[in-house]
Amino acid sequence: MIFDTFVYYLVFLIPSAIAFRFAGRQVRPWICTVFGAAFFIYFSLTQLGGVVGAACLLILWWEACFSRLYKPGSRWCIAGVVQAILVLFVFKYWNFFAGLFFNAGPADPVFWNGAFLPLGISFFTFEFIHYAVDRYRGAAKAGTFADYLAFILFFPTMVAGPIKRVQDFEPKLQNPSSDWPLDWQRGITRILSGLVKKFAIADVLSAVTGNLNHEAIALADRRVLPFWLLAYGIKIYIDFSAYSDIAIGSARLFGIRVPENFDWPYLRTNIAEFWRHWHMSLSRWLVDYVFIPLGGSRVSPPRIYVNVIVTMLVSGLWHGAGLNFVAWGLWHGLMLACHRLWQHLRGPQIHPPSRAGLVLSWAATFILVNIGWAFFCMDLPTSLFFFRRLFIG
């Protein structure tokens, strides 16, 4: 975890936030750019080693230069989306699909032994696509080169989100909040709350959920298995939301507010409400750039269900390159499709649901979401063995 290092706070966050506060409007984007580039190079070197990590910065530089070609309705915007997807595919999914379709392994020529993941590639790729699509639609202004560099190199959100929109970020970059004491008080509080959640809860639960492998599942008492899955469900929520808390708090030190990412998703009473409050910046991105382009809700009901399932399959693959993530996305896609079908068959609800009905809806949603985490935290054969062991014995 990058956010738990003194280097992050003492070398990058605090100096850059102070410099940003004292700088003029024209200089602020370059402060974000310089510190963001240094952050990317430093942590890429620590994770990837050698010049390989630093070379990954060329991806961001190329995207920034290429984005200058974007205009409303321009084919360059389409090319920008294609190249962003290709870069993500090569780095993150090449070996997955090579193994899937060619049964390739590390000894095969088609298998790329040098594959590695540039720091934060899943997050900044979605921001690249957002900018290209919104420039094509005319929904985003070109802005200056410095502003766009600052947008993609703003390091508090680079590795863990939230996924930003340029229309929201650039005005705050140019006119950040001027209330230093309040921003720093709330920013530091948010960072500390994220660190406490990470170390006091998520890492403690990791000691319980870290043994979810085939051998441990085979030897465990069946009655323990649901508690393992529940512990993982709590752990991943606390972990993800802790990263978001630290990122949001870090941005607040600059006087910049970035989108919230989690809003008590486990308290929601249906799967659609869960996704409106879980990883909210990702959910909105998937709706705007996958679900709606597929036709959204403007098509026939069967097509709507297909669009929902495809959107969640994209979400699953975005989280990881593996069949288990595909299964996790399919699980959520089917739940969302069934929820839409149920609403369609039920028709408009005249009377508000009873308290007992709300409790049952919450319990069903909570259980089904946590069942899905088995696909997320284990490879597909292990997760299927987990369910066989849990339900059959």
- Please give the pLDDT value at position 65: 93
For residue 16, count CB atoms less than 10 angstroms from its CB and return exposed for 0-12, middle for 13-18, buried for 19 or more. Answer: buried
- Please give the pLDDT value at position 284: 96
- Please give the pLDDT value at position 104: 60
- Distance CA(217)–CA(386), nearest Å, equals 6
- Please give the pLDDT value at position 392: 84
Among this protein's residues, is 214 annotated catalytic?
A: no
Q: Which residue bears the tokens 């509080």? A: 189
The residue annotated as part of the active site, out of 130, 319, 339, 344, is 319
- Please give the pLDDT value at position 43: 86
Residue ranges of the chain with pLDDT lower than 70?
1, 48-54, 103-116
59-75 confidence digits (pLDDT tens) = 889 989 999 999 999 99
As given in the structure block, the two tokens for residue 369 are 């979401």
- Please give the pLDDT value at position 91: 86
pTM score of the predicted model = 0.93
- Please give the pLDDT value at position 54: 66
Q: Tell me if 127 sits within 8 A of 106, measured CB to CB.
A: no
How many angstroms separate the Cα of 369 from the Cα of each of 232, 237, 336, 364, 375? Answer: 11, 11, 11, 9, 11
